[in-house]
């Protein structure tokens, strides 16, 4: 096999102490597979998306492209991402994957940032969340197809190691910070994880929407999360709430 990720590469990813070092070690492993960029995503399944659907992204895709990707919410329609959400098996990109007006727009934009050929490697997270690894390089997808098939086992294993590292890094929080979440905040967190909107949570708990927003914001600050989805992912990682 022309490309391989060694045990030492995987161990470095597994033992990363923060997101910066994780990106560094994962990037080195990706390059050994013959690719240039990677992105790991954890997101809510479509039926569970609430009013703040932003996924959690960790990786080295161009920041300008990721800004466009997030603003346009392409994670809802991007063909490789949809493959990741609907299958447990890795998928190698083909030009035919993008054979739709939306797909062509995404591929045209991503190509400007060197993201053309690639593959996705799903990691089943829970009943309401999905995630996985995407790898990419600046090449024609069809021309790279057979070569990419050869690295699928290594990519899938690397995806699992990155996911494990992210979960562990998210747990590296002061214990008393998580314990300071009140019983009512916990109830709001659990319902938010089920995909309920603030007004729906208020109706369920018989409290005002304003109170729900206050509890959600408080939980988000205590968990040091940037948005609602990251708050839920971190609460799950810390086992404050279940899957």
Total domains in the chain come to 2
Q: How many CA atoms does the CB half-sphere of 52 hold within 13 Å?
A: 17
What mean pLDDT value characterizes the chain? 86
184 and 143 within one domain:
no
Residue 51 has pLDDT above 50, yes or no: no
CB 187 within 8 A of CB 205: yes
189 and 157 within one domain:
no
Confidence of residue 88 (pLDDT cuts 50, 70, 90): confident
* Residue 180 CB partners (closer than 8 Å, separation 6+): 222
CATH code (residue 86): 3.30.450.80
CB 75 within 8 A of CB 55: yes
Residue 209 lies in a domain: yes
Give the other-Cβ count within 10 Å of 238's Cβ. Answer: 19
114 and 216 within one domain:
no
φ and ψ at residue 131, rounded to 5 degrees? -165, 175
Residue 243 lies in a domain: no
Confidence of residue 175 (pLDDT cuts 50, 70, 90): very low
Residue 61 lies in a domain: yes
Handedness of CA 98, 103, 106, 112 (dihedral sign): positive
Confidence of residue 242 (pLDDT cuts 50, 70, 90): low
Model pLDDT, residue 93: 96
Residue 127 lies in a domain: yes
Choose one of 113, 145, 171: the last residue of a domain.
171
For the ranges 21-35, 40-54, 73-87, the one whose mean pLDDT is highest: 21-35
Residue 104 lies in a domain: yes
Alpha-carbon span 150 to 231, nearest angstrom? 37
71 and 45 within one domain:
yes
Residue 52 has pLDDT above 70, yes or no: no
β-pairing verdict for 91-92 and 56-59 = unpaired
- Residues paired with 44 in a beta bridge: 129
57 and 41 within one domain:
yes
158 and 181 within one domain:
no
CATH code (residue 224): 1.10.10.10
Residue 242 lies in a domain: no
Handedness of CA 123, 177, 17, 62 (dihedral sign): positive
Query: Terminal CA-to-CA distance of the chain, rounded, Å?
Result: 38
25 and 89 within one domain:
yes
Question: What is the average per-residue pLDDT within 203-219?
Answer: 92
187 and 109 within one domain:
no
Residue 131 lies in a domain: yes
Where is average pLDDT lowest: 36-40, 75-79, 193-197, 233-237? 233-237
Question: What is the average per-residue pLDDT within 56-60?
Answer: 88
Domain of residue 124: give its range: 7-171
Model pLDDT, residue 87: 86
DSSP-derived 3-state class of residue 184: helix
Ranges assigned E (strand) in 86-184: 91-92, 117-124, 129-137
185 and 216 within one domain:
yes
Confidence of residue 50 (pLDDT cuts 50, 70, 90): very low
Choose one of 171, 200, 219: the last residue of a domain.
171
Top pLDDT among 177 and 138 is at 138
Model pLDDT, residue 130: 75
How does pLDDT run across 110-161, given as a tens digit for each residue?
999 999 999 999 987 555 567 899 999 999 999 999 999 999 999 999 999 9
197 and 167 within one domain:
no
30 and 111 within one domain:
yes
Residue 194 has pLDDT above 80, yes or no: yes
85 and 113 within one domain:
yes
Residue 1 lies in a domain: no
Q: How far is CA 73 from the centre of its chain?
A: 13
Choose one of 171, 186, 209: the last residue of a domain.
171
Q: What share of the chain is helix, strand, coil (3-state, %, to 5)?
A: 55, 15, 30
């Amino acid at each position: 096999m022309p490309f391989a990720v060694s045990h030492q590469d995987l161990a470095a990813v597994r033992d990363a102490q923060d997101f910066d070092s994780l990106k560094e070690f994962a990037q080195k492993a990706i390059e050994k597979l013959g690719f240039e960029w990677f992105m790991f995503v954890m997101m809510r399944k479509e039926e569970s998306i609430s009013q703040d659907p932003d996924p959690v992204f960790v990786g080295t895709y161009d920041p300008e492209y990721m800004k466009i990707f997030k603003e346009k919410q392409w994670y809802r329609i991007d063909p490789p991402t949809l493959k990741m959400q609907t299958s447990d098996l890795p998928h190698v990109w083909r030009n035919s994957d993008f054979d739709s007006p939306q797909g062509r727009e995404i591929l045209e934009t991503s190509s400007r940032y060197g993201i053309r050929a690639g593959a996705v490697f799903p990691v089943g997270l829970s009943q309401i969340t999905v995630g996985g690894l995407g790898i990419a390089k600046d090449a024609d997808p069809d021309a790279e197809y057979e070569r990419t098939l050869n690295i699928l086992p290594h990519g899938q294993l690397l995806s699992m190691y990155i996911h494990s590292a992210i979960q562990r890094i998210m747990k590296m929080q002061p214990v008393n910070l998580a314990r300071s979440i009140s019983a009512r905040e916990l109830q709001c967190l659990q319902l938010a994880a089920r995909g309920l909107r603030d007004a729906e949570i208020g109706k369920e708990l018989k409290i005002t929407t304003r109170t729900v927003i206050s509890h959600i914001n408080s939980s988000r600050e205590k968990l040091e999360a940037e948005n609602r989805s990251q708050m839920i992912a971190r609460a799950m990682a810390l086992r404050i709430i279940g899957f």
